[in-house]
Amino acid sequence: MTDMGDRANVLDESGMLGHLRNFPADLAGAWDRSTSWDISKIERKVYNGVICLGMGGSASGGDFLACLSELGGCLPFISHRGYELPTWVSKKWLVMVTSYSGNTEETLDALECALNLGCDVVGFSSGGVLQSQLEAAEQTWIPLPGGQPPRSAFGHIFGSQIALVWRLGIQSPPENLGVILEHLTDAVEACDFTLEDEEGDVITEMAQSFIGKQVSILAVQSLSPTAYRAACQFNENGGVFARSQVIPEMNHNEIVAWGEANATENQALLLFSWDGTHERVSLRLEWMLDNIPVEPTWGIVCEGDSHLEALLYSVVIMDWLSCAIALLRGKDPTAIGPINGLKEHLS
């Protein structure tokens, strides 16, 4: 047993690491179940776009769908986090509602607006008010396996969301889904810091270098949602502050602060890229790494033969890294005291 394995035995009381190990199986399960869904109410309809409603871990899938659609889709996807709906939403938009618990306050408020507009709605949850409201309105509800924190259920959530998108013909599935699952399984094993590894535990080494630092997480444009989700995982699992930015956008603003004297003294940098990065973005990245030295800097080249696989690979890395930070800080990666306290206040 590694030192991190000992820490996990003491601190991981709710089994977060077990959920991370199940990520490829969660995706596979969602894809298998999708063949039996009844989506007759939204099939063969023409929409102007898809608006994805959700908060926290239930909202990330919408960001990933939007990113995939930019390179290989036929409709825009817009993520909406919060109450109500944008004023431009109409019956011509498909509304995709995701609340893992089925009881997320902001999401249910936006759902009510969508139903009042007469929109077609498809919802994903493990039950809750979302299920009952959609069934009462004779809309489409797709069940998710329950019993875990939403941020650890990304395989269930996103796997179901993208399976729906494939069935509707909005995006096309890769031909090698089985190979993708095999690669992700290998990635999970490589990241599992509780296992003995002769080549060394890189995830723990990275996590140790981030302790006590202000962490900036950057992603190239075509992996843009990875930066934000990684920052959220650092916040929620690790209990540390992290901020996200995207290249090239940050080249027009935040890069100035990086270039100031002594600005990087307490900074750490984590960067996500992949083989499909735009060549001009790659040039910008090379210049930054040569001219703005930050210690530590870690670059993750997301592996995969497709855009989808690269995005899913990033999920494996960020989830294990954020939990390693939690254990090194003596935190249960599942614990979210302030979130629960706020919910009690609102209720």
Statement: residue 98 has pLDDT above 70: yes
Q: Is 188 helix (H, G, I), strand (E, B) or coil?
A: helix
pLDDT score recorded for residue 43: 94
> Does residue 39 carry a pLDDT above 80?
yes
Mean pLDDT of 150-168: 97
pLDDT at 199: 64
CATH topology identical between 37-173 and 183-328: yes
Q: Where are the domains of the chain?
A: 37-173, 183-328
Decide if 335 contacts 214 (C-beta within 8 A): no
pLDDT at residue 213 in the model: 94
pLDDT of the residue at 133: 98
pLDDT at 178: 96
What's the confidence (pLDDT) of residue 338? 85
Residue 262 pLDDT greater than 90, yes or no = no
Q: Please, which pLDDT band fits residue 302 given cuts at 50, 70 and 90? A: very high
More confident residue, 337 or 83: 83
Cα(144)–Cα(33) distance, rounded to whole angstroms? 10
* pLDDT band at residue 102 using 50, 70 and 90 as cut-offs: very high
CA nearest 67: which of 59, 58, 57, 77? Answer: 77
Residue 1, pLDDT above cutoff 60: no
**CATH class of the 183-328 domain in this structure:** alpha beta
CA distance readout (Å), 66 to 59, 61, 73, 251, 291: 12, 9, 9, 22, 32
Beta strands in 27-139 (DSSP E): 49-53, 77-80, 93-98, 121-125
Average pLDDT, the chain: 95
pLDDT of 340: 82
pLDDT at residue 328 above 80? yes
Tell me the C-alpha distance between 169 and 147, whole Å. Answer: 31
* CA gyration radius, the chain: 20
Q: Which two tokens stand for residue 304?
A: 């995969």
Residue 332 burial (CB count, 10 A): 18
Distance CA(95)–CA(15), nearest Å, equals 33
The tokens for 298 are 């870690």
pLDDT digits (tens, 9 = 90+) for 307-325: 999 999 999 999 999 999 9
Please write the tens of the pLDDT for every residue from 179-208.
999 999 999 999 999 998 756 799 999 999
Top-level class of domain 37-173: alpha beta
Could you tell me what percent of the chain has a pLDDT over 70? 99
- Is residue 241 over pLDDT 80? yes
Q: Rounded to the nearest 5°, which phi and psi values hold at 121?
A: -125, 140
CA geometry: angle 312, 314, 319, nearest 5 deg: 100
